[in-house]
Amino acid sequence: MSLSQTATARVAAVIGLGSMGMGMALSLKKAGFDVLGADVSADAVSRFVAAGGRGIANLAEEIGEADTVISVVVNATQTETVLFGPEGIADSLRPGSVFVSSATMDPAIARKLAARLEEKGVHYLDAPISGGAARAASGELTVMASGTPAAFAAARPALDAMAAKVYELGDSAGFGAAFKMINQLLAGVHIAAACEAITFAAKQGLDLAKVYEVITASAGNSWMFENRIPHVLSGDYTPLSAIEIFVKDLGIIQDMARSERYPVPLSAAALQMYLAASGAGMGRDDDSSLARLYAQLSGATLPEKAN
Amino acid sequence: MSLSQTATARVAAVIGLGSMGMGMALSLKKAGFDVLGADVSADAVSRFVAAGGRGIANLAEEIGEADTVISVVVNATQTETVLFGPEGIADSLRPGSVFVSSATMDPAIARKLAARLEEKGVHYLDAPISGGAARAASGELTVMASGTPAAFAAARPALDAMAAKVYELGDSAGFGAAFKMINQLLAGVHIAAACEAITFAAKQGLDLAKVYEVITASAGNSWMFENRIPHVLSGDYTPLSAIEIFVKDLGIIQDMARSERYPVPLSAAALQMYLAASGAGMGRDDDSSLARLYAQLSGATLPEKAN
């Protein structure tokens, strides 16, 4: 990067340097941003600094440098802590800057957080992400975003650096979160259905590779069946996305549905299976571990990992 | 067709001239078979005769002409009646001919029917179909088949005439049925999940066309979401596939699962919704009518059909 570019570089901050946040921070750097990174883990910050980023020592003192602050934490509670907790940054954000919130959460909470920040003259973009760690690293995420035109305008350069596709879903916070929750409802149910089906096939002694071939070419296919069942076929439950993610996300669906007086029997049945998998000790394993749960509950035999 | 071709034409019989059976019978005719057609509805037989087929007046007397008998009835009970009922054809089938059974059924029943026919020297091909009426008419069905090599050999010319893809899933009856049931488990759950999700989106006031656009490009997608939700968006519940089909097929899943001591919480939740839709008077409507059921249960508003 030339000196003149450095002098005019936009400053972005990424809060939460997990597998998604780290990739997003590095994508921003690659696009020419001056990037600050913060995480509760000093290790994660060290790795980011080693990759050429700037670590933040004191969030409240330094966050005011950033034009764009991207929060890549796990849930609504952490987002609220980042903004309004004892060491929250809400009062340190520069007026006119934009806070981009990517955690999956109840749309009602996204609306409340946005209102509280907007009172302080800070824009809020409700911007849940999808695509996984590989796409975060390559700057090709999908973002389901909603917010005021001013929030979109302020966030645009960072969005362009991080995402291959930005859906603009409404002119206020909440719509992004709501679309993401609809996706998570389907994704969570489809993983559970895929595991119910493949293990039922195993219980009947069917050739599981053949089942995968036939189903992925048939009307019973889903994005999740196609993506997750290979983990079951290879017996490899290394977490790419953990059981606990859907304990959380289908939990949000239950809360939303209960509050809106909307029955969700499929999501409710799926949640019970994620809870059982977590309770049985598989919470941090890959979400395809639901297949192992079905096998435990039925005596079915699934493929084991080759050594 | 020239006289010499007629003289050597293979004879096939199709029992059950509904939307699938009629298409299959005409595909056989197009491929040069001499085709006999039977149905409990005299109307259906008349339409087949008008299209150039031969109606069967007396099944027991005439079925012995056929090299290949294809049963396209609704379920196991009807299949059993066709073969072994008071006017059943089992004793009239020519030894060495093949009975191709396409109804979706419990694999255990397929195995029993096959054993009873094989005792009489008749081959049995367990051959559930998928693809819908349009593909039946164009000879491009998918067939999930299992049976002895002799059964496959005898059925091959007819399969080639009716199907674009024939999966060979095992060397005895039951495997075809089992694969089809795994597909139906997933299909039935995915339709219910799609309707739970789209109506939840409606309840929250989201733009449903936008939801369709976002989900079909995301990890929450399924073949059924993509195929069925347009019916909901246009408010058109004209039956392409009726609620009762999944009352039947998820019912078979329940029976199989109970007998095998295998828990199916997702399929069970979905079945309850199909039962409720049927109980509420929508049994003969399109299976996407589950969305209307969710709307009734929650006060959500779905699109209405344009006039």
pLDDT of residue B2 exceeding 60: no
CA atoms of B224 and A189, how far apart (whole Å): 13
Among B187, B193, B227, whose Cβ lies nearest the Cβ of A186?
Answer: B193
The pLDDT of residue B5 is: 45
Which tens digits make up the pLDDT trace of B197-207?
999 999 999 99
Chain A residue closest in CA terms to B210 = A169
pLDDT at B4 over 50: no
CB contact residues (below 8 A), chain B span 119-178, against chain A? 130, 142, 144, 165, 167, 169, 175, 178
Return the SS3 of B188. Answer: helix
Helix axes B265-277, B175-203, angle to 10 degrees: 70
- Touching check for A206 and chain B: CB below 8 Å? yes
B302 close to B295: Cβ distance less than 8 angstroms: yes
What is the per-residue pLDDT for B1?
Answer: 40
From CA A187, how far away is CA A223, in angstroms rounded?
A: 8
pLDDT greater than 70 at residue B72: yes
Three-state SS string across chain A, please?
A: CCHHHHHHCCEEEEECCCHHHHHHHHHHHHCCCEEEEECCCHHHHHHHHHCCCEECCCHHHHHHHCCEEEECCCCHHHHHHHHHCCCCCCCCCCCCCEEEECCCCCHHHHHHHHHHHHCCCCEEEECCEECHHHHHHCCCEEEEEECCHHHHHHHHHHHHHHEEEEEECCCCCCHHHHHHHHHHHHHHHHHHHHHHHHHHHHHCCCCHHHHHHHHHCCCCCEHHHHHHHHHHHHCCCCCCCEHHHHHHHHHHHHHHHHHCCCCCHHHHHHHHHHHHHHHHHHCCCEHHHHHHHHHHHHCCCCCCCCC
| Chain B residues near residue A298 by CB distance under 8 angstroms | 260-263
Residue B104 phi/psi, 5° resolution?
-75, 125
For the record, the structure tokens of A100 come out as: 């981009």
pLDDT tens-digit map of B16-43: 999 999 999 999 999 999 999 999 999 9
Is A180 an active-site residue? yes
Q: How far is A111 from chain B (nearest CA, A)?
A: 14
Shortest Cα distance, chain A CAs vs residue B117, angstroms: 23
- Kindly determine whether residue B218 and residue A273, on different chains, have CB atoms separated by under 8 Å: no
B178-298 — its CATH code?
Answer: 1.10.1040.10
- Residue boundaries of the structural domains of chain B: 3-172, 178-298
H-helix segments, chain B = 3-8, 19-30, 42-50, 59-62, 76-84, 107-118, 132-137, 149-162, 175-203, 208-216, 223-233, 243-259, 265-277, 290-298
CA A271 to chain centre: 18
Best of A266, A287, A288, A298 to substitute, by most chain B Cβ atoms within 10 angstroms, is A266
Cross-chain residue pair B183–A219, CB shorter than 8 Å: yes
Which residues in chain B have Cβ-Cβ distances shorter than 8 Å to A218? Answer: 130, 142, 183, 223
Per the document, the length of chain B is: 307
pLDDT tens across the length of chain A (307 residues): 444 444 568 999 999 999 999 999 999 999 999 999 999 999 999 999 999 999 998 898 999 999 999 999 999 999 999 999 999 999 999 999 999 999 999 999 999 999 999 999 999 999 999 988 899 999 999 999 999 999 999 999 999 999 999 999 999 999 999 999 999 999 999 999 999 999 999 999 999 999 999 999 999 999 999 999 999 999 999 998 999 999 999 999 999 999 999 999 999 999 999 999 999 999 999 999 999 999 999 999 999 998 7
Q: What is the pLDDT of residue A293?
A: 98
Strands B123-126 and B98-101, sheet pairing: parallel
Q: How far is A122 from chain B (nearest CA, A)?
A: 26
Measured distance CA(A49)–CA(B191) in Å, rounded: 48
Chains A, B: CB pairs < 8 Å: 205
Share of chain B above pLDDT 70, in %: 97
Pick the CATH number of B3-172 from 3.40.47.10, 3.30.1330.60, 3.40.50.720, 3.40.50.360: 3.40.50.720
**For position B60, what pLDDT does the model report?**
87
Reported as a pLDDT band with limits 50, 70 and 90, residue B8 is low
Token pair of A288 as six digits = 């395809």
